[in-house]
Structure 1
Amino acid sequence: MSTPPPFGDPGNIRRENSSAIGKGVAFGCGGCMMLMACGVLLFIGIAIFVVNMLLRSEPSEFAFQTAQKSEVIQREVGEPMKLGWFIAGSLKDFNGNGTAKLSLPISGPKGEVSVHVDAEGKQGRWTYKSMTATIRKTGEHVDLLPLVPLERRAIPSGESPP
């Protein structure tokens, strides 16, 4: 008569160990991977939210509309013009009061420009201190402020309105 192994069937012990190791990897490493994936998705979500806010801001939309009116930019970029996603700069807006210093990429079938905007908002009304476009191909600067209506331009301190 043979005596049974002291700790049970060796084949069964191996199966139980491999199952335990598989669960440990799935819950241990898998949990860490899920936590990292959630962090990455949260970061991407916040980035998309911020870029979308910048794209839909009044200074961005007004600068894009003004650039579309410029004959120089129409000639250099072509139609249709598209506002790019990679807006740089800052926008501070609290209840219609704030500042905007933005750089907007605009592209078209013929080329690209970068429009730089410096604006100030007071009581929901934005006025523009400067608005220039840089043509990427040539490096030429185009002043867009003359295309902005006088009532939308900021008056430098010490000067009186025209």
Structure 2
Amino acid sequence: MTDCNPMPTPLPLRPDYEESERFLEPTYFRSVAGKLQYLTITRPDIQYAVNFVSQRMHSPTTADFGFLKRILRYLKGTQTLGLYIQKGEQLQLSAYCDTDWAGCKETRRSTTGFCTLLGPNFISWSAKRQATVSRSSTEAEYRALGATAQEIAWISFLLRDLGA
């Protein structure tokens, strides 16, 4: 993949769950997906895509391998991106969250994503499928807000205990 053409996004906007034949080397698929999981520590921009691909590790298809290659092509074009720690004067805790409503075509569950910042630096982030089906986009957003508020509360107690 060193000479591949870069992609602008790690996954298509709406990935299709098309039926295709099984991937012939599932061990290779799992190996590459596992390596990408470690990369998400410093590259939260690929976290959702890697999670999406990792859900298919038990029986990957050729279409799933195509998604995996797309992530690698995205990484090829964004090698300079990553998390950088900057010295900040102010230690203000802030957070951002978002959700998609019924984004999973199989279960109709929504995915919550949030990130928390201490000053200008990312300190935690998550992209996770919600436990239950939401009846509306508003309900899905409230669930995302609840998960984000829980994270902020935990981090603020931690910072207080550390004396910050």
Identify, as 1 or 2, the structure richer in strand. 1
Q: With the length of structure 2 as denominator, give the TM-score of the two structures.
A: 0.28
Instruction: Tell me which structure has the larger Cα radius of gyration.
Output: 1
Q: What is the TM-score with the length of structure 1 in the denominator?
A: 0.28
